[in-house]
Amino acid sequence: MRHKVIIIWLPLFLLVALATQAVAQEAKPSGWIELEGVVDSDVTPSINVYANGPLKDMVGWTLYMQAGPEWSERLVGLTLTPATWVSISGSLGVENFEESPFRSGASIWMGNGPWSLLSLQEIQQFI
């Protein structure tokens, strides 16, 4: 199963890295990659990837991926930032469950100075 996750995610990760580099020449995308391992009787690896960047004026793009040995999800969406202190996003994606592979997500971020609020919502069966 671990090889299957690597085969699926490695090309996607490389594509995102190359796309981010291409966009970086005109705008300033940002993101993070997190590797973690849960240690029980064995080590269970997991990877989380998030990237975002501007498209035009107040509209931007977001990408979120999470993968482990038995489960993964991928979401791509648009972000609207009408003011410097608020950002709203909506995303669509898939996961590797056979019952309902489609996911949707939404978020709102509000912040000013040292204070901020982030609310993330995700629905598995929207279709």
Q: Which helix (H) or strand (E) holds 23?
A: helix 2-24
Reported pTM: 0.65
Span 72-90, pLDDT tens digits: 889 999 999 999 899 999 9
Domain chopping of the chain, boundaries: 2-123
Of the candidates 9, 2, 15, 97, which has an alpha carbon nearest to the alpha carbon of residue 48?
A: 9
Separation CA 85–CA 87 (nearest Å): 7
Name the band, by pLDDT with cuts 50, 70 and 90, for residue 30.
confident
Span 35-49, pLDDT tens digits: 777 677 776 788 888
Spatial strand order of the sheet with 59-67 comes to 30-39, 43-56, 59-67, 72-83, 86-95, 102-112, 115-123
Span 52-66, pLDDT tens digits: 889 988 999 999 888
Separation CA 127–CA 121 (nearest Å): 16
